[in-house]
Structure 1
Amino acid sequence: MITIGLTGGIASGKSVVARLMVRCGAHLIDADTLAKEAVRPGSVVWRKIVRAFGRTIVNHNREIDRPRLGNLIFSNPKKRRQLNEIVHPWVYAEYQRQARIRAKEHPDGVLVFDLPLLFETNAQRLFDHVIVAYVDKQTQIRRIMRRNQLRRFEALERINAQLPLLQKRRNAEYVIDTRKPVAVLQKQVRQIYTSLT
């Protein structure tokens, strides 16, 4: 099975590229989905997070209040590191478990792991190929503000919590500029997919 690490910054268009890869025939594992699963109420990861950050981050449904936790960690690198040290090991273990299953079921297939913090966690070594979904910073800011209903400084906090997209771009094997129309992106993704299979 061919493995692809798909990364980029927040609001850089990773999900669009991931969907287009799936249309080409790839299998997808999404790190954000795994992270949400990891923090389901009562789980081991959930308990560690509540112990580390306090009950004020839990809403009335016993779920982690993601906006409240986000406000805590995006303004505090130490707390962000602490959260990542709790969540990332579980996400990577679950990715590897799911990847083994997919490899058995589809040995000649392509598996894409949509992973925002690929370079930050030095995970590029896990993949045969790395693709970066790229967008300029101003577009990224606008997308975050619109999508997450954040003010500009909050959007910048989230962007600055990750490696700069230009640095990720330099380290990638393939770069997809997501400012282009979807039809153009589809063609580019199809070309990359075909070249890898």
Structure 2
Amino acid sequence: MSISYLGLTGGIAAGKSTISELLRRAGWFVIDCDAIARELTAPGEQTWQKLVDAFGGGILNEDQSIDRKKLGSIVFGCSQSRKTLNELTHPAILERWHKEVIHFRVRNPNGKIAVSVPLLHEAALEGEFERVLCVGCSYATQLRRLLARGLEREEAEARIDSQWPTARKAERSDVLLWNDGSLELLEQQFSHFALACEAS
């Protein structure tokens, strides 16, 4: 079956950005919910104000932008704070992504769209898509990659543990690409997936 509306998910540091880039190269229009979140939480935006009201001015940098490390230390260490963050951001992200889909469809009715949603399964958004693609890797690989990004071990583990385990995400997805090895191996898996998407 030919696929034109795809959900992309996976754990933190699993490789969603890499797969997004491969999708773009293959001709897909990619909507990145993390990028939307950054836009919606820019200084002065309505969602930015909601976060400041909820978590206080201590989450801000000198230029009034949100210090994501400070905010992360709050929400990844407390399930209630994480729930508050999601309640304040998810509806606005969903609204923006739907608008982007509509705008793209007007310009390109037959184009292929992929939406990268880190918490796709946690938010029960499977029904939005024709198929869901999960990119996964081992816990050890996630941890190593996050440590390489400069996080402390405790911070990294809290971020991984705040999401569903990869096995649970994979169980609810239609396709799993495994990203524990080289980029070349991931690209080979993606090529097989892309060919299957074109099949009718």
* Equivalent in 98, 104, 108 of residue 96 of structure 1: 98
Is 1:65 matched up with 2:67?
yes
CA distance in structure 1 between the partners assigned to 2:109 and 2:186 by the alignment: 27
Q: Residue 40 of structure 2 aligns to which amino acid in structure 1?
A: A
Correspondences of 1:158-197 after superposition (within 5 Å): 158-197=159-198
Conserved? CA contact 1:24–1:190, under 8 Å: no
Q: Secondary structure at the residue paired with 1:28?
A: strand
Percent identity over paired residues:
33
Work out the number of aligned pairs and report it.
196
- Please identify runs of 4+ aligned residues in structure 1 that moved more than 4 A: none
Q: How far apart are residue 88 of structure 1 and its match?
A: 0.6
TM-score in terms of structure 1 length: 0.96
Structure 2 unpaired stretches of 5+: none
Match of 2:158 in 1: 157
2:125 is equivalent to residue 120 of structure 1? no
Structure 1 residues 95-130: Cα deviation after superposition (integer angstroms, max 9, x where no partner): 000011112222222111111000011111101110
- Per the alignment, residue 54 of structure 1 pairs with 56
After TM superposition, the structure 1 stretch with the greater mean CA deviation from structure 2, 166-175 or 101-110, is 101-110
Report Cα offsets for 1:38-78 as digits up to 9, x if no partner. 10101110111111111111111011111101000000100
Amino acid across the alignment from 1:166: A
Q: 1:194 offset after TM fit, Å? A: 2.4
Whether the 8 Å CA contact 1:5–1:129 is kept in 2: the answer is yes
TM-score by length of 2: 0.94
Q: How far did residue 12 of structure 1 move?
A: 0.5
Answer whether contact 1:21 1:190 (CA < 8 A) is retained.
no
Q: Which SS does the other structure have where 1:131 is aligned?
A: strand
| Residues 1:29 and 2:28 are matched in the alignment | no
* 2:12 matched residue in structure 1: 10
Letter in 1 for 2:58: T
Asked whether the 8 Å contact 1:130–1:173 carries over to 2, the reply is: yes
SS in 1 for 2:109: coil
- CA deviation after TM superposition for structure 1 residue 187, in Å: 2.6
Secondary structure of 1:99's match? Answer: helix
More divergent stretch after superposition (99-108 vs 15-24): 99-108
Structure 1: which 5+ residue stretches go unaligned?
A: none
Contact 1:28 1:113 (8 Å CA) reproduced: yes
Q: Equivalent residues in 2 for 1:130-141 (5 A)? A: 130-141=132-143
Give, in angstroms, the shift of residue 3 of structure 1: 0.9
Report if aligned partners of 1:25, 1:110 keep a CA contact under 8 Å in 2.
yes
- Evaluate the alpha carbon distance shift between residue 106 and residue 190 of structure 1 in structure 2; reply closer, same or farther with a 3 A threshold: farther
Query: Alpha-carbon deviations, 1:150-186, whole Å to 9, x = none?
Result: 1222111000110111100111100001123222322
